[in-house]
Homo-oligomer: A and B are copies of this chain.
């Protein structure tokens, strides 16, 4: 049987990018279906993710897998013959899961505040955002990738945000580079991989998308 793989996604998502990169790393052919969330949600999305009704959804031979971090693990296990993304060592795995969870708990909410809030809340958010990145940078250390010499799971978990950094900085009016130059160098390094470069949205397009969001929500 040939695998039928469908990805429901919305192009600016830093989560959907994870799943795209993982599929590309494994050389899995898939059908990409754009869900333009401004135009409502497709019946297929509602059927495949009835709990959250959110992208990305990976549909493998008719069966849905929801939540991007779970999708990456699933892809790594199903197509295990090529480019292992997670270490097989239990402790390394636990560390990767811990930091991926840290990213999911912290980065999205704080990043959003850099363009959706003002005044003191914005100042707090910018400080916190830099602190989060510095914590991640310290976990990276002097390694080329989070897992060591090889691009892997935790790189995939974080790199989707790389396209969003120019938007965060522009609307929040702050600069990440001075305190996070190592992390920015890691981002550039990831972008040299075809799987990443072909998955991440253009950061200028993200800047425009955030402007659309600001207008939609009446944020000046």
Interface of A with B (CB < 8 Å)? 51, 60, 63, 65-67, 70-71, 73-74, 77-78, 90-91, 93-94, 97-98, 101-102, 135
Contact = CB atoms under 8 A, between A and B. Distances in A.
26 contacts: A51-B102, A51-B135, A60-B91, A63-B91, A65-B91, A65-B94, A65-B98, A66-B98, A67-B97, A67-B98, A67-B101, A70-B94, A70-B97, A70-B98, A70-B101, A71-B94, A73-B93, A73-B94, A73-B97, A74-B90, A74-B91, A74-B93, A74-B94, A77-B90, A77-B93, A78-B90
Nearest to A49: B98
Contacts of A66: 98
Report whether over half of chain A's contact residues are helix, strand or loop; otherwise say mixed: helix
A69 to B, nearest CB: 8
Contacts of A60: 91
A70 B102 CA distance: 12
A67, A70, A94 interface centre (most CB from chain B within 10 Å): A94
Nearest to A58: B94
Contacts of A70: 94, 97-98, 101
A94 B98 CA distance: 17
A100 B65 CA distance: 14
A206 to B, nearest CB: 26
A99 to B, nearest CB: 9
Contacts of A135: 51
Given A67-B101, A70-B101, A77-B93, 20 more contacts: A51-B102, A60-B91, A63-B91, A65-B91, A65-B94, A65-B98, A66-B98, A67-B98, A70-B94, A70-B97, A70-B98, A71-B94, A73-B93, A73-B94, A73-B97, A74-B90, A74-B91, A74-B93, A74-B94, A77-B90
The 5 closest A-B pairs by CB, nearest first: A77-B90, A74-B94, A70-B97, A65-B94, A78-B90
Contacts of A63: 91
